[in-house]
Amino acid sequence: MTQKNPKPRQRDRESETDSDSEQLKIRREKKQRRPDRQTDRMKNIPLLLMGCGGVGRQLLQHIVSCRSLHAQQGVHLRVVGVCDSKSLVVAPDVITRELNDQTLSEVCRVKSNGSSLSALGDLGLALVDCSASSETIGVLNQVVDMGCCIVLANKKPLTSTMEDYDKLVSYPRRLRHESTVGAGLPVMASLNRILSSGDPVHRIIGSLSGTYFRKALIQCTLGYVMSEVEDGKPLSDVVKAAKNLGFTEPDPRDDLSGMDVARKGLILARLLGRRINLDTIKIESLYPDEMGPDKMSVEEFLGSGVVSLDNDVQERVKKASLNGNVLRYVCVIEGSRCEVGIQELPKDSPLGRLRGSDNVLEIYSRCYNKQPLVIQGAGAGNDTTAAGVLADILDIQDLFPSEE
């Protein structure tokens, strides 16, 4: 006769329950401590920041404030150096660490063969260009062959010659430049996804004027200027008021020339495969050539120059209004054409409804034909731009090895 298994005593059941709870607690604690659900190894990304102006400083502040968040994500951003046009600060261990003897021997061998030091392999470094300088182009072109990743907020490397451009984009996995157009808006990411799916983009139109912050004041932008003029204010009053409040560059013509918008348009056009240069883009400035910096001083421009433009601008605003339209300063990319200037647009369109300094981009493709893909939001500002740069840095983390 078989005996039935004895029922566990109450104390045994309580002991098992306590043990299970303790094991569950331990597992939870391990999970919380673990930076990566798959591994305890941390991604270490060494960064060299070029440019410590408004965007560069804001990026450093973002990196510091996000330490805890990044640790939870299993990432450590190690800033090994910061440089501007006049000086350089590097981490102490960069100075004290040395190349081992094997590496020194490899250097001698490579140079004896007449080869470049880039043959030694990957530097394992990310260069972040937050400057507004064209002088970084030579450096970027050299280090890209040495395995460096490059993150850009600076538009000038991407709007240089086609030769320089081809050099940079020849390593697409190691290049990120979302913040060059639209600051933190997902412009590049959206375009790349559309193009990667085989959906050809045949038209882009957008208001891409930038906003820059100085002493917490928003500088004058073309979008802001057009909004104020649409409300009936003379162009000269808008420009003078902005200048007196410190909203513009010392020479307001830097904001009114349209060159910044043209650079952004060139970046977008080249992304679509257009092999064009900056000098092939038709740019409409808000002032004529005879009022340029080489012909007229800032004082003369503000005193009599810009006043002479009021009637023409007001007539254009009135004509657009009679047609049920509004004036907007936009960039248009269609076919081989890339133009920057003032256009009449329907009031009820995304660009027609635009106010202030927001950016709006309409993308037309085979899939987005009758109803374009519209991207809108704060398209500039140090905080937004720096956040976009930081997101780009994190986007390349898989290219760096994990460390204990």
Binding-site residue ranges for NADPH: 155
Pull the structure tokens for residue 141: 């072109």
Among candidates 404, 398, 391, which has minimal Cα distance to 66? 391
Distance (Å, whole) CA 404 – CA 402: 7
Among candidates 85, 80, 75, which has minimal Cα distance to 96? 80
CA quadruple 208, 212, 218, 222: dihedral sign: negative
Longest CA span, the chain: 116
Q: Which of 156, 264, 282, 319 is catalytic?
A: 264
Pull the structure tokens for residue 341: 């200037």
Residues forming beta bridges with residue 183, ordered by sequence position:
none
Distance (Å, whole) CA 39 – CA 383: 33
Q: Is 30 a catalytic residue?
A: no
CA 234 to chain centre: 33
Other CB atoms within a 10 A radius of the CB of residue 148 amount to 20
Q: Residues 150, 153, 159, 164: what is their CA dihedral angle, to the nearest 10 degrees?
A: -10
Q: Which of 95-113 are b and which e, b meaning 16 or more Cβ less than 10 Å from the residue's Cβ? A: eeeeeeeeeeebeeeeeee
Of the CA atoms within 13 Å of residue 181, those in its CB half-sphere come to 27
CA 168 to chain centre: 16
CA 171 to chain centre: 18
Binding-site residue ranges: 51-56, 155, 249
Among candidates 398, 359, 394, which has minimal Cα distance to 151? 394
Of the CA atoms within 13 Å of residue 16, those in its CB half-sphere come to 6
Question: Is the CB of residue 286 less than 8 Å from the CB of residue 225?
Answer: yes
Single-letter residue type at 336:
S
Residue numbers annotated as active site: 264
